[in-house]
Copies of this chain bind each other. A is one copy, B any other.
């Protein structure tokens, strides 16, 4: 955890940015969370932080590679720690409530996937920097 904050501060410094209390609070909230967080959730977790500051800080943290924006099914932006600050994982997305949970798959399958995707990327002339595997379904809370 302290490690994450140290790395975050370092990356911000490289961009002449300060690791302020508000930014620290956002990172701490993401460390504590078990999946990508919406802006309103982060605002709630970071008492006293203005909405506009949150958006601006999220943009800076994303640009400096501390956090990552996650795409979802609804119109709410969600953020999580950059992959090299956590571990490679995938998302379970509930198509009803929009909730997202993290999960991982076995290393061998992950490796096969990686190989395959690399070849696909080069075939299409893409620099395949990352992939994102999402499983979309209905979570237990939303099943009626």
Closest to A123 in B: B103
In the complex, the answer to whether B138 meets A124 with C-beta atoms within 8 Å is no
Contacts of A106 in B (CB 8 A): 116
Q: Report yes or no: A126 in contact with B140, Cβ–Cβ below 8 A.
A: yes
Residues of B with C-beta under 8 A to A45: none
A109 at the interface (CB under 8 A from B): yes
A120 cross-chain contacts in B, Cβ below 8 A: 92, 103, 105, 135
| B contact residues around A135 at 8 Å (CB) | 117, 120-121, 126, 128, 130-132
Closest to A73 in B: B71
- How many of these chains are in the complex? 2
Q: Is the CB of B139 within 8 A of A125?
A: yes
Does chain B have a CB within 8 A of A16? no
Interchain CA distance A95-B109 in the complex, whole Å: 25
Say whether A134 faces chain B, with CB atoms less than 8 Å apart.
Answer: yes
Is A94 a contact of B126 with CB atoms below 8 Å?
Answer: yes
Task: Tell me if B137 and A121 are in contact (CB < 8 A).
Answer: yes
Chain B nearest Cβ from A33, distance in angstroms: 16
List residues of chain A with CB under 8 Å of any chain B CB. 69, 71-73, 92, 94-95, 101, 103, 105-106, 109, 112-113, 116-117, 120-121, 124-140, 143
16 A–B contacts from the bound complex (CB under 8 Å): A69-B73, A71-B71, A71-B72, A92-B126, A95-B129, A106-B116, A109-B112, A109-B116, A128-B135, A128-B136, A129-B136, A130-B137, A131-B134, A132-B133, A132-B134, A133-B134
